[in-house]
Structure 1
Amino acid sequence: MKRFNRLFFSVLLIFTALTLAAQQEVTIKILETSDVHGALFPFDFIRNKPMDGSLARVFTYVKQERSKSDQQVILLDNGDILQGQPTVYYSNFIDSANPNIVSQMLNYMGYDAATVGNHDIETGPAVYQKVVKESNFPWLGANAVSTTTDHPVFKPYTILERNGIRIAVLGLITPGIPKWLPKILWPNMQFNDMVESAKYWVKHIQKKEKPQIIIGLFHSGYDATYGGANAEERNNENAALLVAKQVPGFDVILIGHDHKELAKKYPNINGDSVLVLDPGSSARMLSEATITISIDKCKKVKSKKVEGKLIAMKGYEPDTDFLNRFSDFYSKVNDFVSKPIGKFTKPISSANAYFGPTEFMDLIHDVQLKISGADISLAAPLSFVSNIDSGNITISDMFKLYRFENFLYTMELTGKEIDGFLEHAASLWFNTMTGPNDTLIRFKKENGRIRLYANYYNFDSAAGIYYTIDVSKPEGDRVTITGMADGTPFDFSKTYKVAINSYRGNGGGGHLTEGAGIPHEELAKRVVISTDKDLRLYMMRYIEKQVEIEPQCHYYWKIAPEEWVKVAIERDRKILFNR
C-alpha cells in the first residue's frame, strides 16, 4: 500500500509539473494619461511657470517601466489632449500646415491607442481628423457613430498582443457633446449611450476576438448624478461607473473627463470586481494597472490578478531626449505667447467675479457686445483664478482671460427667457441667505471638504441691462431687471439679440434649457449668427486695435441685501481662496 501511495504521489507531482510547465504567466502593465489639455512640456505657457505634470515627465516613467524585462507595457491616452495650453493651440490653428505636435509626440512616445475626448472634437474636424491620420496608433470612439453609414466614425476598439496574450481596448466618448458643442464641429455624427454601446461591443469583441483581457478606455467621468443628472436616463455624460457595474467582461476601465482622481475596484452585476482608474488632468498623475495573467497552452485563462494605483509625475524629471527632440517647437510656442498685443492700465482678476461685477468680466462683456452688436451680453469666468497684470498684454494673457476655444453666438431671446437664464445662474451660484451669518456662495460638502455647489464657469452675469439679485429670496424669484443700459425699459415680451458663447448657446449648464425653458432642439434656431473662429482670437484683435485699454467695471448688477452680503463676502473669500 505504501508503495502504491509513493507511486501515486510521484505521478501527481509529475502531472502538476507538466501542467505548470504548460502554463504561461505574463505581467502586463497598462499606463494611462487623460485630460492632458496641452500639458506637453513641463512648463505652463499661460502662467509662465514650471508645471508638475507634462508628457515629458510621463515619458521618463514610461521608459523606466519599458526597461523592465519581467513585464509588458501598454501606453494609452484617454482624450482631451488637443485643447488647453498654447502649445496645442499654436499647432492646431497657427502652424497647422505641419504635422500636429500631439500626433508627433504620441508617436514618439509609442502610444498604443487613444480615445477621442469632447475637447478634441471642439478643435473641429480639420484638426482632429488630421491628428487621427498622422498617428501611428488608432484613435477610438465606438459610440461616435456616422449618421450616414451607421458605423463608428472612429475605430471602436483595437486588439493588442503581448507575449501571446490578446488584449482588447474598447474606446467610448462622453455622449454629452451635443449639449456643449455646435454641430459644425461634429458633422454627420451622433453619440450613443455608453452602457448600450458597451454591451454590444463587449459581446462582439468576446465572440470575434476572444481576448484574455478587456480594457475600457472611456472619456467619461464616474459621477452619473453630476449636475443633477438622472443616472437612469440614456446618454449620461458621466456613465463610466454605470458601464463598470452593468456590463460584465471588463478587467480594467480607464476613465477621465471629470479631472477627478480615482483608483478603486467596483463589483459588477456578476459579482466580479472591476478596477477603475482616473488620473485627473494635466498629466500630473498617471494611471497604472498591473495585470498578472496565467494561460494554458490552449490560451485558456487559468488565473488573473488585477491591481492598480495612480503615480504622481512631480517626482520624475522630464525626459532629456524628449525635450531635445521637441526643443524647436518649444521655442516657437514661447515666441508666440510672448508677443505683446496691447496694454492694460490696471490689473484685473477673475477671483473678484464671484462676489459681484468686476473689470475682468465686464471686459469680456464689452468685447462680446462690440463684436456682435447685440443688445445684451451673457458670460461667466472660465478660469477659477486668473490674474492679469497692468502693462503689456501678451498672447499668453489671453488664455487667462478666455480659456476655451468657444465661438461667439448672437441669439434671439425674449426678456422672460433672459430673466429665467439669470435665475438659473443665480441658483447655481448663490446660497439662500437668512442673515449675515450665512454664506453668500452656495457650497456643498464632498469627501469632508467644502466645495462649490456648481462649477464656476456656470456663474453667468449680464451686461447691457441693470438688475439686482436678492439672495434673501427663494430660488427662481431672486432676479429683478430694472431696465436696459441705454435707459429704455426692459420688456419681458420683447425679443433681444444676445451675445453668448457656443458652449452656453448649445445648452451647456442648462441655463437656456432649464432656466429659460427653451427645448434643446430649438436652440440652433435661435442662433442669428456665429463667429467662424474662436472668441479668444477676436478678443486678441480687439485689444490690438485698441492698443491701450483701461478695464472698467460698469456695475450693471448688484447683490442684495447689501449689509448681509458685505459680511458674507469676507468669510466666503477665505473659504474659496484660503486667505
Structure 2
Amino acid sequence: MKRFGKVLSLLLIFCFCFSYVSKVSAEEALFLDKQDLTGYTVILHTNDSHGRAVPDSYNGYMGFTAVSALRAYYEKQGAQVLVMDAGDTLHGLPIATLEKGESIVQFMKLAGYDVMTPGNHDFNYGTTRLLELEDKMDFPLLSANIVKKDTKELLLKDNIIIEKNGVKYGIFGLSTPETAYKTNPNNVTTIEFTDPVEAAKKEVTALKSAGAQIIISLAHLGLDESSEVTSKLVAEKVEGIDLIVDGHSHTTLQDGLMVKDTLIVSTGDYIRNIGVVAIDKSGNMKAALVNSSAFTLTDEAIDKEAADITAAQEKLLSEVVGKTSVYLDGVRENVRTKETNLGNLATDAFRKATGADVAITNGGGIRASIEIGTITKKDLVTVFPFGNFIVTKNITGKALLEALEVGVASYPETLGGFPQVSGITFQIDVTKPAGSRVVKAVINGERVNPEKIYQIATNDFMAAGGDGYTMFNEFATVNEYGSMEEIIIDYIKEVKTINAKDESRITVLEVSKEEEKTVTEEPSKSGESKADGKNNTKTDIKSGSKTDSKAETKETAVSKDKNKTESKSSEEHTIYVVVKGDNLSKISLKFYGTQTKWRDIYELNKENISNPDSIFIGQKLKMSGK
C-alpha cells in the first residue's frame, strides 16, 4: 500500500524568522509555522542550471550557495534533507567550461548534494570526462538506461537507497535517449541509451525487493511534447513511482504535476528556483518552488569558493588560443545593423563544426570587439558571455527567408536580432516594407528555394524562438553541440591566424534617385515630410560610413506606423506584462499577429523603455487597440 496521502499543492513563500518575512495564507502558515520539523523529510532539487553556479541578482539566479543555505535552514529546524540534481549542470557558462565541469562538482560537494543524474549537456566534454568527474564526486551519479556499446553493461550506477527518518528512499536515474543527438555525437560513440520506460519498470521492481518504501526517479527526460519519451509517459506507463524529479525541458512546475499516482516536479532552469518537496510523518507531500525573492540566505563557504575559483580562472582565461591580423568588429551599432568580420568568424565556426548549410547568430549576442594581436579565452568569453550552445535544425527555405526578414525588419536602426550569417548571401531592399525586404538570397550559387530543406546552425536562444525567430521553434532539433565560445576557440586553434573580412554577405540593394525621391518625399498622414534631408544612398552594409547612422531615412511604412501610434495616444490602452523570452517583436506578433508593430509598442512606452532591445520580465507595457 502506498505511504502517501493526497498530494497537497502548495506554493511555499518562505516565512522564516529572518528579515525577509513575507505574508502567507493560513494554509501556508500551517506548514511554515512549524519551527520543529522533526520527523519531516525535505527533498531539495535543481535541474538545468547550465553552469549558473553563482548568484546573479539581475537574472534571479540563486546559485549553489542558496541551495546549501536552504538545506542548512531545514536541518536546523529538525528536518532530514535530501539534495538532488536532475542534470544539465556541469556545462554552460565559463565558470563551468574552463575546468570542464570540475568547478561545478566542487560547488555541489560543498552544497551537500546526495545524488545526481546526468543530462545530455553533461556529456559535452565527452563520456570519458564525465566518468572522470564522477570519480571526483562524493555523491552517486545515477542512470539506469545508459549502457556501454561493447559489453551492454551499465555505464553508471543505476540506483541507491537512502534512509531518512526511518524510511528507505529508493532513487534511480533516467537519462534522455535524445542525448545521442543533443550533444556532439562524437561525445557518445561508445554508449547507448535504452528505453527509459522499460528501465524504470525494472528499477521499481528491484528497489522494492531491496526494501525501498518510497520510489523516486531522478530523471532528465522533460515534458516537451516533441520528445518521444517524457517523464509524463514514464509516470503513465510505470506503476510504483511516487516522485519524479525531472529536468531537460526547463519546465517550471510551481506545485508539481500529478500523473496518476506519481508527482512530477521541475524547477525551470538556472537555479532561478529551488524545488522543495516536504514529506511529513504520515507520508503526505507538499511540493513548491522557492525563488530569490523569498529566500536570501547564502553559505559563506560557497561564497568564498566562488571567489577563489573566479580568481584562479583568471589564469585559465589568459590562455592564448590564436591571433588575429585584423580588428574583429563587435561594436554594438555595427553587429546590430550590418555584416561584420567578427560575425563572419563566429558563424563560419558554427558551420565548420556542424556541417550545416547555413549558420546564423544574432548580432545582439556579440558583446565586444577583439583587437589586432593575440586572442585569449578571456577575449572570447567577453565577446560571447551568455553560455549559449549550438543547435542544428532542418528547416524550409520559406522559414529561412522569414527568419532573415525578422532580422532586418528594423534596418537601418539597430536590432539585437540582426542576423550575422555564413553560407548564405542576401540583399536588403529598403524601399520595401518590413517583412518583404530580403531579396536575392543565395546558397551555394542558387537562389533559396522556399520548398527546399536546409540545415541551419544557430545558438540555442534563437533556436527556441528568441529575438523574434519564432519560426525556428517549429522545427525539430537535429543535434546540439558545445558552447559558442568553445566552438569558436576550436576553430581559431585550427586556423591559427584570423584574417576575417567583410565579404558582402549582406548588402543593401542600390536605390535609384527616382526611388529615393519616392521614399523620402511622400507626405505622411499628418502632412509632414518623411525625410529629414539626409537620404540613405549606401549600397553595402559593410561600408560602416557614419553618414548611414541615426539621420538615415526611414521607409514610408515605418513613418506611417509611427503616425498611427501618435494618433492613438488618447485611446484607452490594454496593459501587457512582459514574460520570460519576450522582446518587442515577439509581443507584437502575439498581440497584433505581426512582428512589424514592435515600433508602435516602443513609441507608446518610450517613457519606460530606454532601449527597445532591453525589456525585463514583469515590466508593464501599454498596448493600443488591436
Post-superposition offset of 1:312: 1.1
For the 8 Å contact 2:344–2:421, the answer to whether it is kept is no
Letter in 2 for 1:125: T
1:205 and 2:238 are equivalent in the alignment: no
Secondary structure of the 2:192 match is strand
For the 8 Å contact 2:109–2:137, the answer to whether it is kept is yes
Secondary structure of the 1:254 match is strand
1:554 and 2:508 are equivalent in the alignment: no
The aligned runs of 1:208-219 (5 Å cut-off) are: 208-219=209-220
Post-superposition offset of 1:223: 3.0
Post-superposition offset of 1:79: 1.0
Distance 1:73 1:428, change over 3 A: farther
Letter in 1 for 2:210: E
For the 8 Å contact 2:339–2:502, the answer to whether it is kept is no
The superposition leaves residues 385-415 of structure 1 with CA deviations (integer Å, 9 ceiling, x where unpaired) of 5533686986455245386697999xxxxxx
The superposition leaves residues 266-286 of structure 1 with CA deviations (integer Å, 9 ceiling, x where unpaired) of 4444xx3x3322112222210
Secondary structure of the 1:330 match is helix
For the 8 Å contact 2:388–2:459, the answer to whether it is kept is no
Letter in 1 for 2:89: I
Instruction: Report the equivalent of 1:364.
Output: 346
CA distance in 2, matches of 1:177, 1:37: 15
CA distance in 1, matches of 2:362, 2:147: 30
CA distance in 2, matches of 1:372, 1:256: 27
Instruction: Report the equivalent of 1:506.
Output: none
Distance 1:335 1:377, change over 3 A: farther
CA distance in 2, matches of 1:209, 1:122: 34
Q: 2:264 aligns with which of 237, 257, 276?
A: 276
Post-superposition offset of 1:565: 8.9
For the 8 Å contact 2:329–2:341, the answer to whether it is kept is no
Secondary structure of the 2:92 match is coil
Distance 1:203 1:356, change over 3 A: farther
For the 8 Å contact 2:119–2:179, the answer to whether it is kept is no
CA distance in 1, matches of 2:334, 2:248: 24
Post-superposition offset of 1:209: 2.1
1:463 and 2:443 are equivalent in the alignment: no
Distance 1:407 1:32, change over 3 A: closer
Structure 1 vs Structure 2: percent identity of aligned residues? 20
Instruction: Report the equivalent of 2:242.
Output: 251
Distance 1:59 1:549, change over 3 A: farther
Instruction: Report the equivalent of 1:101.
Output: 103
For the 8 Å contact 1:54–1:283, the answer to whether it is kept is yes
CA distance in 2, matches of 1:286, 1:541: 39
Instruction: Report the equivalent of 1:36.
Output: 49
CA distance in 1, matches of 2:441, 2:363: 30
CA distance in 2, matches of 1:385, 1:243: 37
Post-superposition offset of 1:373: 13
CA distance in 2, matches of 1:312, 1:408: 29
Post-superposition offset of 1:129: 0.8
The aligned runs of 1:66-465 (5 Å cut-off) are: 66-69=75-78, 71-92=79-100, 100-206=102-208, 208-224=209-225, 229=226, 235-236=228-229, 239-269=230-260, 272=261, 274-294=262-282, 304-313=283-292, 315-325=295-305, 327-337=307-317, 346-348=329-331, 361-367=343-349, 378-381=358-361, 385=365, 387-388=367-368, 395-396=377-378, 398-399=380-381, 400-401=383-384, 421-425=396-400, 462-465=422-425
The superposition leaves residues 464-504 of structure 1 with CA deviations (integer Å, 9 ceiling, x where unpaired) of 444799xx9xxxxx99866568xx56699xxxx9995899x
- Alignment gaps of 5+ in structure 2: 1-37, 411-416, 461-468, 510-554, 562-595, 603-611, 617-626
The superposition leaves residues 213-237 of structure 1 with CA deviations (integer Å, 9 ceiling, x where unpaired) of 112211122232xxxx2x7xxx43x
Greater alpha carbon shift after TM alignment, 82-91 vs 460-469 = 460-469
CA distance in 1, matches of 2:508, 2:67: 46
Post-superposition offset of 1:73: 0.4
For the 8 Å contact 2:45–2:245, the answer to whether it is kept is yes
Distance 1:122 1:423, change over 3 A: farther
Letter in 1 for 2:92: G
Letter in 1 for 2:213: Q
Distance 1:402 1:63, change over 3 A: closer
- Alignment gaps of 5+ in structure 1: 1-24, 94-99, 295-303, 410-416, 432-438, 442-455, 473-477, 504-508, 524-529
CA distance in 1, matches of 2:64, 2:238: 32
Normalised by the size of structure 2, how large is the TM-score? Answer: 0.59
Instruction: Report the equivalent of 2:490.
Output: 538
CA distance in 2, matches of 1:351, 1:573: 24
Instruction: Report the equivalent of 1:436.
Output: none
Instruction: Report the equivalent of 2:551.
Output: none
Post-superposition offset of 1:56: 1.9
For the 8 Å contact 2:247–2:266, the answer to whether it is kept is yes
Post-superposition offset of 1:288: 0.4
Post-superposition offset of 1:461: 5.3
CA distance in 1, matches of 2:219, 2:354: 41
